[in-house]
Chains A and B, each alone.
Chain A
Amino acid sequence: MDALTLARWQFAITTVYHFFFVPITLGLSIAVAIMQTAYYRTGNESYKKMTKFWGKLFLINFAIGVVTGIVQEFQFGMNWSQYSRFMGDIFGAPLAVEALLAFFMESTFLGIWIFGWDKISKKFHLAAIWLVAIGSNLSAIWILAANSFMQQPVGYAVRNGRAEMTDFFAIITNGHLWVQFPHVFFGAVATAGFLILSISAYQLVKKGKHEVFTKSFKFGAIYAFVGSLLVILVGHSQAQYMVKIQPMKMAAAEALWESENPASMSLFTFGDEKNRKDVFAIKIPGALSFLAYNKFDGEVKGIKNLQKEEEEKFGPGDYVPPVAVSYWTFRIMVGAGFLMLLITLLSTIQVFKSKFEFKPIWYKIVFWSMVLPWIANTTGWLFTEIARQPWTVFGLFKTADSVSNTVSAGEVGFSLVAYTLIYAVLMIIMIGLMKKYATRDVDEIEKEEKEIDNSVLSKA
């Protein structure tokens, strides 16, 4: 394999891996902050236990999110130096602001939060976790501002052989950012909600109806329901936005070879990507037009037509992304999203109706549905980035031109193997720890802490 292919694999693996942890950081930081606010307001000890229990899981997750984030920041220069030269004037700024505005805030106040129990006032300690939550989510806005530029370049001019920023305000008010960030944000809320919901389901089955977990289950169900519902609604407007700015992406998502008016939506397509035609397909007439424009007519452009258009605009070349991958990742994401909505809706209804007298099978379903948000998050990002190909910056700069020209295939191969190995080992360790802390007896937490102190004091 050549350096470009290896660098792309490395970017995909490290980024997908990083994003296993990011949504939990974004969503769970807010959840823990809400729980601690409830404790602060009511003084109810079970809220404190909730804060501590979910806070521990948050920290186990956060550690890997942080360290894999370092690789992300360095990787642009290390593996994509030509991209960095071309895009640095625009892309570097949000990254630097992200570090200055968000990373400092979340890391400093997380330290204060971990070590501040009983050392600082309750009010300030509560403020610390909120600042962590705000810092984490601010960082998402800035990195997505950078990504949104790659999807829809705005506020720039090509000068001196590179893209130069002409309007910082345009970059942070980029229309793409403000459909993408809510989508990522509510996706993160849903992901964290599902984690809480699933683990609570496990605890309720194994350890009985403990107040901490009936409360957590209820919280998780509502939190994940709100997240799932809004991520779908925002996703819909994001798709409509995509039709306008990246029609090729939409065409690939639907395996729509020819322009259609009204356009039909594919339920299932088995296609021939090489010859750009369907082998077998089931379609709903007019549905794609409705998806794109909220009405049952209106042209949606097809892959072949767009290929022609882009050739006229950008010169000869292949402008079609991998269609099968785009088509299936998009469908898996949407499918997982609707399943999430269904499960959380039913869970929420049951919580209010049956007071936790569920059938055991329901707990099982809820528990295993934990994987759904991860599937949706991963396929969603794979779709977003793969269906933009051959571009790194849409219409402006190609992936093939972005890679570092001084880093050999051997060197990238080495780092690819090294990162993959260390990430795999960390994953195993992390899951082990998560399991340990997710399945422990919540009443033991306080006892354990006291015992440690006593054992120390008796020794002294």
Chain B
Amino acid sequence: MDLNTIWFVLIAVLFIGFFFLEGFDYGVGILLPFLGKEDRERRAIINSIGTFWDGNEVWMLTAGGAMFAAFPNWYATLFSGFYLALVVMLLALIARGVAFEYRSKKDDPVWRNRWDWVIFAGSFIPALLWGVAISNIIRGVPIDDKMNFTGNFFTLLNPYSLIGGIASLLLFTLHGSIFLSLKLSDNLLDGARKVAKKLWLPATILLFIYVILGYFETDMFSKLGVNPGVIPILAGLAILSVGYLLKIQKEGWAFVMTGITIAFSTITIFMGLFPRVMVSSTNPDWSLTIYNASSSPYTLKVMTIVAVIFVPIVLAYQAWSYWIFRKRVSTKQKLEY
């Protein structure tokens, strides 16, 4: 494997980490105003991700930084091309991050209720927009021979990307509800379980519609062949199994399965992209690839050394922090947020 391919894989790994981890905390944020009836309940829900959400978000920042370092042209074309969508997402993320910290710092129901809806919107918007963005990358957007995006905001809104957005939104929300089934207790636990069961079918249906649309809208399947291989199939089987696992109250396994669905769907999309990183709908020859968008071999080498040393360390201490705070959260305990 050459360094360009290694970095393509690494960025895929960072996105998997990001979607897996922040996927559930987006889901938790979306469910917050609906699952939590009174203040202590809402606080318990926020506290279930209180320790983790900031660390989870760094996966996105690292993915962005890694794109910049390893594939500057990808970073430049994508971020300037999807400008308005990203502005909206940044506004959502700005408000969301502050909301977690500020919400419970005033003993005022109006104040708290407002922040709860900020958390909702701040989670809803990125959960939707990431699906839209990824779908457009694989479907292709107008890119000229100088790697410049030549479309506009409305280019990004098409049936395929919107279905992709709704699918990611539902999948993350489902993932979040199952996470809450593992983290909450008492009434809240019952609520989370109910929501998870309700969400499973629409999420699964949307995901399959998205896959079917993918046959017509992208070249992913002509690339992967009629038999797409074991990874996409496992992604499909995993989401199917979630319904059953929820029924028999095996939430731990259900969480693993939504995790696999997220991870393997992301891998499928990256496999469909490879060796491209952004598809040009104007002319296939103008697509950005891991070669024409990449940094110099020297930079890739330096960054590989850094990644090999530090990614395992980060994984180790993040996993450890999840282990320390593995206990269920209850409305009866002391709540920090």
The residues of A with any CB-CB pair to B shorter than 8 Å are 59-60, 62-64, 66-68, 70-71, 73-74, 76-79, 81-82, 84-85, 87-93, 95-101, 103-105, 107-112, 114-116, 119-120, 159-160, 164-166, 168, 404-407, 411, 414-415, 418-419, 422, 426, 429, 433, 436-437, 449, 452-453, 456-457, 460
* CB <8 Å contact, B91 and A100: no
* CB <8 Å contact, B70 and A165: no
A-B pair number, CB within 8 angstroms: 232
0 or 1 for each of B53-69: is its CB under 8 Å from A? (1 = yes): 01101100110111111
Residue of B nearest to A112 (CB): B321
User: A457: which B residues are within 8 A, CB to CB?
Assistant: 332
B334 at interface by CB-CB < 8 Å: yes
* CB <8 Å contact, A96 and B76: no
Q: State in angstroms the CA–CA spacing of A420 and B299 once bound together.
A: 36
* CB <8 Å contact, A411 and B84: yes
Q: Mind listing 10 A-B residue pairs with CB under 8 Å?
A: A70-B93, A71-B94, A78-B83, A92-B70, A93-B303, A100-B311, A104-B317, A105-B314, A404-B80, A406-B150
Q: State in angstroms the CA–CA spacing of A402 and B40 once bound together.
A: 50
Residue of A nearest to B306 (CB): A97
Q: State in angstroms the CA–CA spacing of A59 and B299 once bound together.
A: 36
Q: State in angstroms the CA–CA spacing of A78 and B303 once bound together.
A: 23
Q: State in angstroms the CA–CA spacing of A92 and B62 once bound together.
A: 11
User: B62: which A residues are within 8 A, CB to CB?
Assistant: 96, 99-100, 103-104
User: A85: which B residues are within 8 A, CB to CB?
Assistant: 72-73, 76, 147
Extra contacts besides A95-B68, A406-B150 (9): CB < 8 Å? A71-B94, A92-B67, A93-B295, A101-B310, A107-B54, A107-B55, A114-B51, A406-B80, A422-B94
- Known contacts A64-B98, A67-B93, A433-B106; A74 and B86 CB within 8 A of each other: yes
B50 at interface by CB-CB < 8 Å: yes
User: A95: which B residues are within 8 A, CB to CB?
Assistant: 65, 68-69
Q: Is the interface of B mostly helix, strand, loop or mixed?
A: helix
- Known contacts A67-B94, A92-B70; A59 and B296 CB within 8 A of each other: no
| Min CB gap B223→A, angstroms | 27
| Min CB gap A414→B, angstroms | 7
Query: Which among A59, A99, A107 is the interface contact of B65 at CB below 8 angstroms?
Result: A99
Q: State in angstroms the CA–CA spacing of A60 and B337 once bound together.
A: 12
Instruction: Kindly state the interface size class of chain B when it binds its partner.
Output: 35 or more
| Min CB gap B235→A, angstroms | 27
* CB <8 Å contact, B72 and A89: yes
The residues of B with any CB-CB pair to A shorter than 8 Å are 40, 47, 50-52, 54-55, 57-58, 61-62, 64-73, 75-81, 83-84, 86-87, 90-91, 93-98, 100-102, 105-106, 147-150, 295-296, 298-299, 302-303, 306-307, 310-311, 314, 317-318, 321, 324-325, 331-334, 336
* CB <8 Å contact, A93 and B91: no
* CB <8 Å contact, A452 and B75: no
Q: State in angstroms the CA–CA spacing of A71 and B83 once bound together.
A: 12
| Min CB gap B311→A, angstroms | 7
Query: Which among B75, B317, B334 is the interface contact of A77 at CB below 8 angstroms?
Result: B75
Q: State in angstroms the CA–CA spacing of A165 and B299 once bound together.
A: 6
* CB <8 Å contact, B101 and A100: no
* CB <8 Å contact, A78 and B86: yes
* CB <8 Å contact, B148 and A406: yes
* CB <8 Å contact, B332 and A456: yes
* CB <8 Å contact, A92 and B94: no
- Known contacts A103-B58, A107-B57; A422 and B75 CB within 8 A of each other: no
* CB <8 Å contact, A414 and B65: no
* CB <8 Å contact, B303 and A422: no
| Min CB gap B35→A, angstroms | 19
| Min CB gap A119→B, angstroms | 7
Q: Is the interface of A mostly helix, strand, loop or mixed?
A: helix
User: B332: which A residues are within 8 A, CB to CB?
Assistant: 456-457, 460
* CB <8 Å contact, A88 and B80: no
Which are the 10 A-B pairs with shortest beta-carbon distances? A88-B72, A77-B79, A92-B69, A92-B68, A96-B65, A63-B101, A81-B80, A81-B76, A111-B51, A67-B97
- Known contacts A96-B66, A104-B314, A415-B87; A88 and B97 CB within 8 A of each other: no
Q: State in angstroms the CA–CA spacing of A318 and B334 once bound together.
A: 63
Q: Which one of B94, B95, B96 has the greatest number of beta carbons of chain A within 10 Å?
A: B94
* CB <8 Å contact, B336 and A73: no
* CB <8 Å contact, B298 and A164: yes
* CB <8 Å contact, A63 and B55: no
* CB <8 Å contact, B72 and A100: no
Query: Which among A62, A70, A78, A112 is the interface contact of B94 at CB below 8 angstroms?
Result: A70
User: B97: which A residues are within 8 A, CB to CB?
Assistant: 63, 66-67, 70
User: B71: which A residues are within 8 A, CB to CB?
Assistant: 88
Q: State in angstroms the CA–CA spacing of A93 and B72 once bound together.
A: 10
Q: State in angstroms the CA–CA spacing of A338 and B310 once bound together.
A: 41
Residue of B nearest to A82 (CB): B76
User: B50: which A residues are within 8 A, CB to CB?
Assistant: 111, 114-115
* CB <8 Å contact, A92 and B75: yes
Query: Which among A77, A107, A165 is the interface contact of B78 at CB below 8 angstroms?
Result: A77
Residue of B nearest to A167 (CB): B298
- Known contacts A88-B68, A115-B336; A93 and B321 CB within 8 A of each other: no
* CB <8 Å contact, A107 and B58: yes
- Known contacts A84-B72, A88-B295; A414 and B84 CB within 8 A of each other: yes
User: A73: which B residues are within 8 A, CB to CB?
Assistant: 61, 64-65
Residue of B nearest to A423 (CB): B94
* CB <8 Å contact, A449 and B90: no
| Min CB gap B312→A, angstroms | 11
User: B79: which A residues are within 8 A, CB to CB?
Assistant: 74, 76-78, 81, 84
Residue of A nearest to B153 (CB): A411
* CB <8 Å contact, B334 and A88: no
User: B91: which A residues are within 8 A, CB to CB?
Assistant: 418-419, 422
User: A160: which B residues are within 8 A, CB to CB?
Assistant: 296
Q: Which one of A164, A165, A166, A406 has the greatest number of beta carbons of chain B within 10 Å?
A: A406
Query: Which among A59, A90, A119, A406 is the interface contact of B101 at CB below 8 angstroms?
Result: A59
User: B325: which A residues are within 8 A, CB to CB?
Assistant: 112, 115, 119
User: A437: which B residues are within 8 A, CB to CB?
Assistant: 105
* CB <8 Å contact, B148 and A74: no
Query: Which among B52, B68, B86 is the interface contact of A96 at CB below 8 angstroms?
Result: B68
User: A406: which B residues are within 8 A, CB to CB?
Assistant: 80-81, 83, 148-150
* CB <8 Å contact, B296 and A89: yes
Residue of A nearest to B146 (CB): A405
Q: State in angstroms the CA–CA spacing of A457 and B147 once bound together.
A: 62
- Known contacts A63-B98, A107-B54, A165-B298; A100 and B334 CB within 8 A of each other: no
Residue of B nearest to A71 (CB): B90
* CB <8 Å contact, B94 and A68: yes
* CB <8 Å contact, B65 and A98: yes
Q: State in angstroms the CA–CA spacing of A433 and B71 once bound together.
A: 41
* CB <8 Å contact, A112 and B324: yes
